[in-house]
Structure 1
Amino acid sequence: MAKDAGTPSGEGAKAAQRIKEEEELGLRRPQGWQLYLVPLIALCWSLFQLSIASWLLLDTTYIRAIHLAFALVIVFLSYPTLKGNVRLPGLSWLGEKHKIPIPDMILALLAALAALYIVLDYEGIAGRVGRPSTLDMTVGIFLVVVLLDAARRVIGPALPFIAGVFTIYAFFGPYMPDFVAFKGVSLARYVSQISLTTEGIFGIPLGVSARIVFLFVLFGALLDKAGAGKFFIDLAMSLLGRYKGGPAKAAVLASGMTGMVSGSSIANVVTTGTFTIPLMKKVGYPAKKAAAIEVAVSTNGQLMPPIMGAAAFIIAEYVNITYLEVVKAAAIPAFASYFALFFLTHLEASKLGMRGLTKAEMPVFFNILRSGFYFLVPILVLLYELIIPRHSPDLAAFRAILVLAVIMLFQHAVKAAIWGGSPLHGIKQGAFDILNGLISGGRNMVAVAVATAAAGIIVGVVTLGLGGLITDVINALSRGNLYLMLLITAMASLILGMGLPTTANYIVMATLTAPALVTIAGWQGFEVPLIAAHLFVFYFGILADDTPPVGLAAYAASAIARSEPIATGFQAFSYDIRTAVLPFMFIFNTDMLLIGVEGYFLPFYIFFMTCVGTFAFVSATQRWFVVRTRWYEIILLLGVALIMFRPGFFAGFVGVENHYLSYLVGLALYAGIFALQTWRARRQPAAA
Structure 2
Amino acid sequence: MAELLHPEPGQAIPAADEFQEHGIQRKLGGYALKILIAAALTFSTYQLIVAAFHPLSSLVIRSLHVGFLLMITFLLYPAVKRSDLSRVAWYDWLLAGGAFVLSTYHWIFEGDLILRAGDPSTTDLVVGTIMVVMVFEAARRIMGMALPVICAAFLLYGLFGEYLPGSLAHRGFGFDQIVDQLFIGTEGIFGIPTMVSATYIFLFILFGAFLEHAGMIKLFNSVALGLVGHAQGGPAKVAVVSSGMMGTISGSGVANVLTVGQFTIPLMKRFGYSGVFAGAVEATASMGGQIMPPVMGAVAFIMAETLNVPYSEIVKAAIIPALLYYFTVFVMVHLEAGRLKLMGLPKDQCPSAWKAIKADWHLVLPLAALVFMLFHGFTPMFAGLTGLALTAILILGAAVSARISMQAFRYVFWVATGLAAATFLEFGIYPILGVIGFLCLCCFFIQGGHKTLQTMKSSLVDGAKQGLVVGVACAVVGVIIGVLTLTGAASSFAGFILTVGEKSLFISLVLTMLVCLVLGMGIPTIPNYIITSAIAAPALLQLDVPLIVSHMFVFYFGIMADLTPPVALAAFAAASISKDDPDKTGWKATQLAIAGYVVPFMAVYTPALMLQGDWTALGVVYVVFKALLAITLWSAAAVGFFWTPLKLIERIFVTVAAALLVVALPITDELGLGMSAAFFAWHFWQKRRLALA
Verify same fold: TM over 0.5: yes
CA distance in 2, matches of 1:302, 1:541: 10
2:153 to 165, 177, 180: 165
Alpha-carbon distance, 1:17 to partner? 2.1
Range 676-685 or range 144-153, more displaced: 676-685
Q: Is the 8 A contact 2:563 2:589 kept in 1?
A: yes
SS in 2 for 1:445: helix
Counterpart in 2 of 1:673? 679
Q: Is the 8 A contact 2:328 2:592 kept in 1?
A: no
The percentage of aligned residue pairs carrying the same residue is 37
Counterpart in 2 of 1:397? 384
Amino acid at match of 1:27: Q
Alpha-carbon distance, 1:212 to partner? 0.3
Alpha-carbon distance, 1:516 to partner? 2.5
CA distance in 2, matches of 1:676, 1:377: 48
Counterpart in 2 of 1:80? 78
CA distance in 1, matches of 2:39, 2:687: 63
SS in 1 for 2:17: helix
Alpha-carbon distance, 1:473 to partner? 4.6
2:484 is equivalent to residue 454 of structure 1: no
Amino acid at match of 2:534: T
2:64 to 63, 66, 83: 66
Counterpart in 1 of 2:198? 210
Deviations 1:31-79 (A, max 9, x none): 2111111111111111111122223432211211111111010011111
TM-score by length of 1: 0.89
CA distance in 1, matches of 2:64, 2:230: 51
Alpha-carbon distance, 1:529 to partner? 1.5
1:368-379 pair list within 5 angstroms: 368-379=356-367
Amino acid at match of 1:645: V
SS in 2 for 1:547: coil
Amino acid at match of 1:247: P
CA distance in 1, matches of 2:673, 2:405: 54
1:644-663 pair list within 5 angstroms: 644-646=661-663, 648-651=664-667, 662=669
Counterpart in 2 of 1:53? 51
Counterpart in 2 of 1:88? none
2:647 is equivalent to residue 630 of structure 1: yes
CA distance in 2, matches of 1:472, 1:70: 39
1:531 to 537, 548, 571: 548
Q: Is the 8 A contact 2:21 2:569 kept in 1?
A: no
Q: Compared with structure 1, are the counterparts of its residues 15 and 408 closer, same or farther at alpha carbon in structure 2 (3 Å cutoff)?
A: closer
Amino acid at match of 2:361: F
TM-score by length of 2: 0.89
SS in 1 for 2:489: helix
1:101 to 79, 86, 89: 89
How many pairs were matched up? 651
Q: Is the 8 A contact 1:589 1:645 kept in 2?
A: no
Counterpart in 2 of 1:92? none
Range 493-502 or range 366-375, more displaced: 366-375
Gaps of 5+ in 1: 85-94, 522-526, 654-661
CA distance in 2, matches of 1:665, 1:142: 63
2:571 is equivalent to residue 554 of structure 1: yes
Deviations 1:212-255 (A, max 9, x none): 01111111111111121122011111111111001111111111
2:559 is equivalent to residue 542 of structure 1: yes
Deviations 1:59-111 (A, max 9, x none): 21121111111101001111111112xxxxxxxxxx23211122111111222
2:142 is equivalent to residue 154 of structure 1: yes
2:210 is equivalent to residue 193 of structure 1: no
CA distance in 2, matches of 1:25, 1:506: 21
Q: Is the 8 A contact 1:410 1:427 kept in 2?
A: no
CA distance in 2, matches of 1:287, 1:685: 32
Counterpart in 2 of 1:500? 523
Q: Compared with structure 1, are the counterparts of its residues 219 and 617 closer, same or farther at alpha carbon in structure 2 (3 Å cutoff)?
A: same
Counterpart in 2 of 1:384? 372
Q: Is the 8 A contact 2:224 2:242 kept in 1?
A: yes
SS in 2 for 1:309: helix
CA distance in 2, matches of 1:230, 1:7: 7
Alpha-carbon distance, 1:211 to partner? 1.0
Amino acid at match of 1:75: T
Counterpart in 2 of 1:659? none
Counterpart in 2 of 1:511? 534
Q: Compared with structure 1, are the counterparts of its residues 615 and 32 closer, same or farther at alpha carbon in structure 2 (3 Å cutoff)?
A: same
Deviations 1:545-595 (A, max 9, x none): 122222222122112212111211111111112211111221222121211
CA distance in 2, matches of 1:370, 1:331: 27
Alpha-carbon distance, 1:665 to partner? 6.5
SS in 1 for 2:273: coil
CA distance in 1, matches of 2:335, 2:15: 27
1:328 to 284, 292, 316: 316
Deviations 1:236-280 (A, max 9, x none): 111111110011111111111111221001110111111111221
2:248 is equivalent to residue 263 of structure 1: no
Counterpart in 2 of 1:357? 345
Alpha-carbon distance, 1:425 to partner? 2.4
CA distance in 1, matches of 2:283, 2:370: 27
CA distance in 2, matches of 1:411, 1:25: 37
CA distance in 2, matches of 1:183, 1:211: 36
Alpha-carbon distance, 1:173 to partner? 1.4
CA distance in 1, matches of 2:183, 2:220: 43
CA distance in 2, matches of 1:385, 1:600: 24
Q: Is the 8 A contact 1:536 1:583 kept in 2?
A: yes
Q: Compared with structure 1, are the counterparts of its residues 32 and 623 closer, same or farther at alpha carbon in structure 2 (3 Å cutoff)?
A: same
Counterpart in 2 of 1:579? 596
Q: Is the 8 A contact 1:411 1:430 kept in 2?
A: no
Q: Is the 8 A contact 1:25 1:443 kept in 2?
A: no
Q: Is the 8 A contact 2:236 2:278 kept in 1?
A: yes
The RMSD of aligned alpha carbons is 2.7
Amino acid at match of 1:18: D
Q: Compared with structure 1, are the counterparts of its residues 474 and 366 closer, same or farther at alpha carbon in structure 2 (3 Å cutoff)?
A: closer
Deviations 1:157-207 (A, max 9, x none): 111101110111112212212252222211111111111110111111111
CA distance in 2, matches of 1:54, 1:602: 43
